[in-house]
Amino acid sequence: MSTQDQTEEEKNIKIVRRSFEALNTGDVTKASEFIHPNYFNPESQASPERAKLRGPEEFVDTVKKLRAAFSDLHYEEQENIASNDKVVSIMIVTGKHTGDFFGIPPKGNNFSYQAAHISRIADDKIVEHKAIRDDLRFMMQLGVIGAAWPQYEPILKVWKGMMNKSI
């Protein structure tokens, strides 16, 4: 890898870090500095009103909705892997469910799960974002998912306890 490639990849990591800083602080005033006008997040397609959003507007909407749903929301960087125009950020995400989360009412539950965030960079801005999360752990911790039959509840309880200790 040449020094120029390494510099480009380090620059891309810094760009992606700005998005996590915005998620952690809620400060989205400079989103257009690091979010591309054509920014696309496939997760926003699940909601008809959000499916129309692109660019900084979509990112700002996501940050505001997540911070309204989860107090103490925090993305802790574990590792970044950069190659060409992509950055993979391994994060531990924590918080407390204190507001509506896309139709899931709050129960005040704390959560902690691991996620890989894949960002593609174009023109020194994030143009695409995808996340691979441990949604099973997340939904169990929010109290949305439980055992389908009572006989499996003890197994899930033990597993949930193990999951809480593993991070």
Q: What is the pLDDT of residues 62-110, one digit of tens each?
A: 999 999 999 999 999 999 999 999 999 999 999 999 999 988 999 999 9
pLDDT of 50: 79
Weakest-pLDDT range from 9-13, 63-67, 156-160 = 156-160
Confidence (pTM): 0.85
pLDDT of 99: 97
Burial classification of residue 125, based on how many CB atoms lie within 10 Å of its CB (0-12 exposed, 13-18 middle, 19 or more buried): buried
Sign of CA dihedral 105, 55, 89, 33: negative
DSSP letter at 106 equals -
Does residue 165 surpass a pLDDT of 90? no
